[in-house]
Amino acid sequence: AQKITQTQPGMFVQEKEAVTLDCTYDTSDQSYGLFWYKQPSSGEMIFLIYQGSYDEQNATEGRYSLNFQKARKSANLVISASQLGDSAMYFCAMREGGTSYGKLTFGQGTILTVHP
Amino acid sequence: EPEVTQTPSHQVTQMGQEVILRCVPISNHLYFYWYRQILGQKVEFLVSFYNNEISEKSEIFDDQFSVERPDGSNFTLKIRSTKLEDSAMYFCASLRLGTGAREQYFGPGTRLTVT
């Protein structure tokens, strides 16, 4: 079974609108971390946002927020007020276990295209 | 802001040759990783390294791969005899341990092309 599932291969959004990128995960661990990374066409991996499994509040970082629904095992990324520079591949990732140093397991990614 | 650096940015090699990919992690980080991404596919974990030894490795990280921290700054990935299927983007990442440490910082990647 896939540990991280991103069901949207591609998403389109109009500039200045909000968009939600879906991510579901599968783990039997009680303690884990969820991450979103952005990969522009230049190839680098840019950290966006983190949600710990015990965090009670949904994480927010500027225009990025994470809609964390633990019972449903989903960790969707919401980008508000999309900008042309948001066009990129977005990866959801999970770190299992209670340590901060475990490996990351990535999903297949979603290509986001922002239209002017 | 400190960043992870990787050299070279692009390496072309012939099948069967040895390659060494180099990374300089962020200076106060203690945990190091290699991931790879075959073109168009997801990022996959290869190996993690701490205190001068491998902490965890994936099935991909077979005897053809090795890692080393030859000095206080560099972290290298060696592929002994490259295969066509080793063609991928290789990312180095590092992590600061301690309170509040959470995200791995990724380098810009080395694109390896095996011909």
In the DSSP assignment, the letter for residue A30 is S
List, in sequence order, every beta strand (DSSP E) within chain A. Answer: 4-5, 10-14, 19-21, 24-25, 32-39, 46-52, 60-61, 64-69, 74-79, 88-96, 105-106, 110-115
* Arithmetic mean of pLDDT, A17-42: 96
| Secondary-structure percent of chain B, ordered helix, strand, coil, rounded to 5 | 5, 50, 50
Q: What is the pLDDT of residue B40?
A: 85
Q: How far is CA A58 from CA A49, B31, B43, B70, in A?
A: 10, 27, 25, 41
> Which of A37, A101, A109 is the closest to B97 by Cβ?
A101
Residues of A with CB below 8 A from B41's CB?
Answer: 108
Q: How many whole angstroms separate alpha carbon B7 and alpha carbon B10?
A: 8
Q: Which residue has the higher pLDDT, B1 or A25?
A: A25
> Which of B56, B103, B107 is the closest to A103 by Cβ?
B56
Contact B106, A37 (CB under 8 A): yes
Length, in residues, of chain B = 115
Quick check: A44 contacting B, CB < 8 Å? yes
Quick check: B58 contacting A, CB < 8 Å? yes
Q: What pLDDT, in 10s, does the model give residues A53-99?
A: 999 899 999 999 999 999 999 999 999 999 999 999 999 999 998 88
Quick check: B5 contacting A, CB < 8 Å? no
> Which of A43, A50, A105 is the closest to B103 by Cβ?
A50
**Reduced to 3 states, what is the DSSP secondary structure of residue A70?**
coil
Contact B4, B91 (CB under 8 A): no
Residues of B with CB below 8 A from A109's CB?
Answer: 42
Q: How many whole angstroms separate alpha carbon A112 and alpha carbon B12?
A: 30
Residues of B with CB below 8 A from A35's CB?
Answer: 103
Q: What is the pLDDT of residue B72?
A: 78
Residues in a beta bridge with A68: A75
Q: How far is CA B91 from CA A63, A82, A89, B86, in A?
A: 26, 27, 16, 13
> Which of B41, B95, B106 is the closest to A101 by Cβ?
B95
Q: What pLDDT, in 10s, does the model give residues B22-78?
A: 999 999 899 999 999 999 889 999 999 999 999 999 999 999 999 999 887 899 999
Q: How many whole angstroms separate alpha carbon B31 and alpha carbon A94?
A: 17
Q: How many whole angstroms separate alpha carbon A8 and alpha carbon A36?
A: 15
Residue A49, pLDDT above cutoff 90: yes
Residues of B with CB below 8 A from A37's CB?
Answer: 106
Q: How many whole angstroms separate alpha carbon A83 and alpha carbon A103?
A: 31
Q: What pLDDT, in 10s, does the model give residues B83-100?
A: 999 999 999 999 998 777
